[in-house]
A and B are shown apart, each in its own frame.
Chain A
């Protein structure tokens, strides 16, 4: 093909889809700029009447890779949390606004268990140091024992924390507890609120779920208090510097656990009878009923699986970020919705992909949004969602029903 034909095709594309060509051009400029930044080439400032524009600049490869890793970490956790929302949306036909608070409930219940278990270690240490004080036996001294670690309830910010290295058992059991408690919570709420209105329309269910969201959020605040607190510690936490990217054990744990859970869900949906029934119900609920699929039992399993993953996501989110407050999940909900909508509402693979895109966009955009502009990282993720929807209104995986 000769150059003229190529140019003609390009001009044709620009004329027929102006929006797409502007976006493509903007993306290309950003990409070239990124390459220039990574190569350390800078041009500018190019004088314009209002301000100077810098092209290129200097950004370390390691720093860029760090943004990508951070994006993957946050993206994976958003993706994991989005699966539950997507499942309830496709199988129960409503947008569950309480979903973010399921994340919070999972995080709090899991970390409370982690603290109690990590605290047992502390309790043993206190006992041992008391024995030491009286008898002089043993090596542990009273000043080494940290009573504050005992219970999450009374922990002041920055005063104590559990971590994967010092108390791995506590973390693992906490993760399981987070999933378990969220499952129990979701089944109770389904029985009390959603099941009596199973055949109601989506709007009524959505409004009910907003009520549930408030109830759960302030119940958590009532029990655990309204202070935000740091619950992990980085004391002796192994971390590796991979070409400038600092990767710590908590982030690795998060990514590995989330990947295992996602793969497990994939196998469940594609290979097991229950998973196929869930996909069938997502496809066509009334047909599922006349086919003989016990719909109520499938709905219960949907809550169990969705809530379990959601609780785990809440726990892992806190593991990687350290902080925990009663609004943690609520603040995440918007990102979760963005991921689910971007991926194609109702598709779990779309939710995972959407989570990754949202996570990556919110971190990689920091390449350009430096200093004060960094607070625009989140809006950038949403802007990207809007862009995706402009060109693919039903989302990345839209129209592909996968449950």
Chain B
């Protein structure tokens, strides 16, 4: 392992896998947030993006999902360019996205929330529903309760469950630990580990950088809308510069 974490952001082309972002410029309206961002997620990989507030972490995810203003660069999923697709088409391609806040339909029941996750299919996929219920048994127990009446942790599970209804190849999670009680955070990360172990690639943005880097395969450090460091999670954790600059020593 190198002494310093790599400043090279992109993987060699022959290693590029599921998601490949190259030299991405994006923002909101006239405001450019990202400049020249590179990012890769290989099949089955667990990747996290960490960095200070306002670094553009969530914007990377939103850009992949077609929710920002595209300003240049390349976003390829399974080797197909997706930057011109609408969110519902991107879902169709196999990307699931769990936004950070208000990520359940509070007035709908738990089951209805899950049904909405499979809206683009003609029939509700019973096997997927079964799988989500097996993964999060509390959701089956509370099936007919409104989502708004669930606790924060349960809402987070519901939001993930909804994104898993289409069995996506890549699951993008925006700050899954935000707002959770400390004792629930570990449990949440364990669940994400299991989703990844079962074969779904995960791209996660996390404020809780140390824990996220410990869990992931590979991490990106983003600052001021640009790549700063990229390496294995443990390597980033061990790196003196990264620790000084981004992890509070």
Query: Which A residues lie at the B interface, using CB under 8 A?
Result: 273, 276-277, 279-280, 282-284, 286-294, 400-403
Contacts and interface: CB of A to CB of B under 8 A. Distances in A.
B102 A292 contact: no
Interface stretch (B10-18, B108-116, B132-140, B237-245): B108-116
A277 B104 CA distance: 13
A403 B105 CA distance: 11
A277 B119 contact: yes
B178 interface: no
B116 A280 contact: yes
A338 to B, nearest CB: 24
B164 to A, nearest CB: 12
A352 B189 CA distance: 46
A275 B96 CA distance: 23
Contacts, number: 65
B115 A287 contact: no
A276 B113 CA distance: 9
A279 B115 contact: no
Interface string B70-97: 0000000000000000011001100001
B65 A292 contact: no
Contacts of B104: 287
A283 B87 contact: no
Interface residues of B, number: 23
A208 to B, nearest CB: 22
Contact of B119 (A279, A284, A293, A403): A293
Contact of A276 (B87, B99, B108, B120): B108
The B interface is mostly helix, strand or loop, or mixed, namely loop
Contacts of B149: none
B107 A292 contact: no
A291 B107 contact: no
B88 A292 contact: yes
Given A290-B87, A292-B120, A293-B119, A279 B107 contact: yes
A286 to B, nearest CB: 8
B103 A287 contact: yes
The A interface is mostly helix, strand or loop, or mixed, namely helix
A284 B87 contact: no
A276 B67 contact: no
B65 A401 contact: no
Nearest to A402: B107
A284 B102 contact: yes
Nearest to B115: A276
Contacts of B162: 291
B117 interface: yes
9 contacts: A284-B106, A287-B104, A288-B105, A290-B99, A291-B119, A292-B88, A294-B120, A400-B107, A401-B107
Contact of A291 (B67, B102, B106, B117): B117
Contact of B88 (A280, A294, A400): A294
Contacts of B120: 292, 294
Nearest to B120: A292
B63 to A, nearest CB: 13
Nearest to A294: B88
Contacts of B87: 289-290, 292
Nearest to B112: A276
Contacts of A284: 102, 105-106
B105 A273 contact: no
B108 A279 contact: yes
B116 A277 contact: yes
Given A287-B103, A291-B162, A294-B88, A276 B116 contact: yes
Contacts of B105: 279-280, 283-284, 287-288
B82 to A, nearest CB: 14
Interface in B6-27: none
B108 A280 contact: yes
Contacts of A293: 88, 116, 119
A310 to B, nearest CB: 23
Contacts of B99: 286-287, 290
A403 B117 CA distance: 18
